[in-house]
Amino acid sequence: MHLNHLSASDRGDAAAGRLTTTAPRNVVRRKHPVRWAVALVILFILSLLGLTLANNTIISYDEVWHYQFTSVILSGLLTTIKLTVLSQAAAVIIGILVAVAGLSENPVLAVCAKTYIWFFRGTPVLVQLIFWFNLAVIFPTFSIGIPFGAVFFSTKMNAVMTGFVAALLGFSLNHGAYMAETVRAGILSVDKGQRDAALALGYRRRQVMFHVVLPQAIPVIIPPTGNELIALLKATSLVSVIGGGDLLTQAENIYSTNYLVLELLIVASIWYLALTTVATFGQRMLERHVGRSRETDGSRRRTTTDMGIGRLAAVTRAFAKACRRAPGRPLGE
């Protein structure tokens, strides 16, 4: 034994013959009998439910497979996808504008933004859809022209406010109010000192918002935005009330003639589950892309948050350096 590689106490113990080695200990995992019992009960119940549905003679699964890829169902599926994408895109734009207006120092903009959020979040989306679809009761004609002057284009409101247009308008305005609160929460999550530093450097408030604050707020905004998208996707089924031609509307049109109610509802449910799964996967990928940087194989990835913080850090260092060079002088001289 080489005593030079031991500590003073160990050398003393080794000299006295008291240095011993510890035997490896066996690690015993903790058992969870209650957890496994609950899991077995859940699996048993799910198995019974699956067997009951499989042996059910009322539901014709051949008809489910037959109508799953028919042209009518696929056209409704395409309408649902278009309605979801367009409404979500409009809701994001509305949400950003309303959130920025709500945080503005202009009292008129702030009050208007808060009133918009209060109204569209406080009334059911189904009521809003029915209201927009029946807008012709209030405004029988749709006209484009100069107020109290020449009219360039005029037509009946019913020709413009179709079921799809009413659904697009209703979902955009309704989910825009929810997106405004999501964007506002993301903006408030950014440290106020960064905005103050950018303003001190001469940046305009609009530049600070769109080049410093929003890039850092994106990782906070993305997860609830994905949830809003999935909620909007399922909420498009409400369009069947106003005949918007969506997936559920087409399914209802089919089972109103052949009376295969359960089969067509299963067809629609399968497509909704498929779209929700794709949206969830896209949300996870987007969160990874714009999320905080991670250590991967010893290299650090730069994301939107890192680049926003890096730019602001560089700007802050330049500001401090300028102040040290010319103390007491106005910025820009």
The number of C-alpha atoms within 13 Å of 281 and in the hemisphere containing its C-beta is 6
19-52 pLDDT, tens digit per residue, is: 455 566 777 777 778 888 999 999 999 999 888 8
Average pLDDT value for residue range 280-306: 60
pLDDT greater than 50 at residue 331: no
Contact in structure between 176 and 95 (CB atoms under 8 Å): yes
Closest CA to 229 of 125, 73, 81, 75: 81
Per-residue pLDDT at 307 exceeds 60: no
Q: Measured in Å, how far apart are the chain's first and last C-alpha atoms? A: 74
Q: Is 328 exposed, middle or buried (0-12, 13-18, 19+ CB in 10 A)?
A: exposed
Can you identify the CATH homologous superfamily of domain 62-143+152-292+302-325? MetI-like (1.10.3720.10)
Report the predicted TM-score, pTM, of the whole model to 2 decimal places. Answer: 0.72
**Domain boundaries of the chain, sorted by first residue:** 62-143+152-292+302-325
- Reply yes or no on whether the pLDDT at 16 is more than 80: no
Residue-wise pLDDT for 83-126, tens only, equals 999 999 999 999 999 998 998 888 999 999 999 999 999 999 99
3-state class (DSSP) for residue 120: helix
Q: Is the pLDDT of residue 162 over 80?
A: yes
Phi/psi of residue 19, nearest 5 degrees: -80, 120
Minimum mean pLDDT range among 72-76, 99-103, 198-202, 303-307 = 303-307
Is the model more confident about 273 or about 218?
273
Other CB atoms closer than 10 Å to residue 104's CB: what's the count?
15
